[in-house]
Every structure is written in C-alpha cells, then in structure tokens.
Structure 1
Amino acid sequence: MITVMNAESYLKHKIGEDTDDIKKVWEAFKAFCKEPVEGEEDKEILFQCGVYDFTGEALFHLDFVRQFTIYEEDEYSHMEQLHCEFLFKPTDELSNLEIGEWSMDYDNIDDFLSHIENLQEFKIPLILKPIKSEIYQEAV
C-alpha cells in the first residue's frame, strides 16, 4: 500500500523521466489521486495556478497537489503536500489565469477531475512547454 512516506517516490516512478510532459504527468497524477494512501481519511486534492514570485522571480505556477493530514496516535500532527509543479515565463495570457480549487468542494473525485480538465486555467498551460518542472513533497 502507498504510505505518505513513499508517496513521492511512488508517483515519480509512475511518471518516469519526462516530467516536462504536462499531459503525461496529469494522467499519472489523476490515477494516483484515486489510489488509497495508508491512514488517509479524505482525499484532499488541489489544483492551483497563478503568477507568483516564490522563487524571487515572477513566474506562472501550474500546480497539481495531493495533501495528506498526518495523525500520530489519533492526534493531529501536521500536513504534507505532494506537488507536481510546472513553471512558465508569464505571458499576457498566463498572467490572467489564477485559481485554487479543492476536491473537497465536489461530490466525488471524478467530478472534481473532470471539472479541472474543463477549466481554461488548465487547458491553456497544458499545451505549453514549462521552463522548469518539479515533483516534490513538503510539510506544510
């Protein structure tokens, strides 16, 4: 079974080497979103994008996130997020895109994923080539 500790390596293995191929990463991420993770009570999936200067430079971020709530002995401990993040130079078209959508706002994960695939915030960057991509997990 997938655990929070091995979720990043599991997803990286599923995606393979070509992490700049957004469509390929999305398909692997989508399948991963439906797989159970040990100790997970609810699926917490986030799609977000926008122009931010987290790196010290204003870049367009496209980010697929799976969030895990960690409990130790039935007590809340912390959260971790597994990101599939793509960075782009902000064009006029990309600069107008900004959104954050959580799966918990939908009846089921399929409705959420279908909704995301129909958003312009998803469709427009999907056909572009990122300047950088990264898959990483962090405590939040």
Structure 2
Amino acid sequence: MSGRPPIDGAADLLRAQMRVGHLSSPTTTEDAWSAFARFGRLRFSTADSPDVDGLLFQYGVYAFDGPEAFSLDLTRQFDVLDDEGDHDHFVQVHCELVYEPVPALAALGNFSSWFFHDSGDDLERWLAAFTARDAWAVIREHSPVKVEVYRETV
C-alpha cells in the first residue's frame, strides 16, 4: 500500500507513540496502553489480506529471562511474504511491561487475544474490550518495573 509506512520502521513508530503521550518515568500501564492503541490504529504497507497485520494482547506469569514475573505483552505482528506472495517470516514489535509477580497479578492467570486488520473485526471494540475486563482494573493498579519496546523476526 503506497502512502503507508513500511513495517521496517514500526518499532520506531511505537517508540514515537510512547513519547507522544509525554510518558513519565517510569511508564504507567495506562500510558503504554494508550501508546499501543495509537500505534495499533496506524496502518502499514502490507498486503491486503486479513492475516498479515495483527495485534496481540497477552498477559501472564512467565520466567523468560530470570525469576518469574507478571508480563503484559502488547504485540504487533506482520506476516512478511516472499516474491510469490507466500509466508516468509513474521516481524513482531513488542511493548512488554514487566511487573513484580504479586498475588493479585498472578491470580489473573494467562490470557491472550488477537485482532487482525482487514478481517472485518472492529479495532475500537477490540481495544475497548480490554479496558472493560476486570483484569484490567487489577493490572493498571500496578506499576511496571520494566518497559521494553523491541522488534524481533520469528
């Protein structure tokens, strides 16, 4: 799609959205969510297909890089196609918020939900569904101990 930014710049655009809100240090959960929602509304140069540009909201207690911690991972995933239009690889841009694994957060368990642009689903309804969840009220009451925006190829 011409006129849309390339996916190669997606991580920088998410970082820019994080700055738009004049995020304080440390970043609050609400600030990061607002930045991710703005980022999710941006459209990128991708194929017009319902599964090439997706948003993922997921949380749970994990031990990826050390001791267990509660993680809220807000991810944008792009399906990169080869010259024939077939899947080649994914590019994921993450905004990961890590919290102390306090009992209230651990009690939330694990949750994940996907949204895909061009699938016919309503983005604003998908975004609003999370702030309406009981779990959101619990998560937003806690401050992340680490916030990281990064890109990975999978």
Structure 1 segments of 4 or more deviating over 4 A? none
Larger Rg: 2
2: CA distance, partners of 1:111 / 1:24: 19
How far is the alpha carbon of 1:120 from its aligned partner?
Answer: 2.5
* Residue identity opposite 1:37 in structure 2: F
Structure 2 counterparts to residues 74-93 of structure 1, below 5 A: 74-93=85-104
Structure 2 counterparts to residues 32-47 of structure 1, below 5 A: 32-40=39-47, 41-42=49-50, 43-47=53-57
Q: 1:58 and 1:116, CA in 2 relative to 1: closer, same or farther beyond 3 A?
A: same
Q: Secondary structure at the match of 2:138?
A: helix
Match of 1:11 in 2: 14
Match of 1:65 in 2: 75
Match of 1:100 in 2: 112
Match of 1:55 in 2: 65
What's the TM-score once normalised by structure 2's chain length? 0.82
CA contact (8 A) 1:49 1:121 kept: no
Q: 1:107 and 1:38, CA in 2 relative to 1: closer, same or farther beyond 3 A?
A: same
Q: Secondary structure at the match of 2:76?
A: strand
Unaligned runs of 5+ in 2: none
Match of 1:118 in 2: 132
Alpha-carbon RMSD across the aligned residues, in angstroms, is 1.9
How far is the alpha carbon of 1:56 from its aligned partner?
Answer: 2.0
Unaligned runs of 5+ in 1: none
Percent of paired sites with the same residue = 26
Q: Secondary structure at the match of 1:66?
A: strand
How far is the alpha carbon of 1:89 from its aligned partner?
Answer: 1.0
2: CA distance, partners of 1:90 / 1:108: 33
Q: Number of paired residues?
A: 140
Q: Say whether residues 1:136 and 2:147 are aligned partners.
A: no
1: CA distance, partners of 2:137 / 2:44: 28
Q: Secondary structure at the match of 1:49?
A: strand
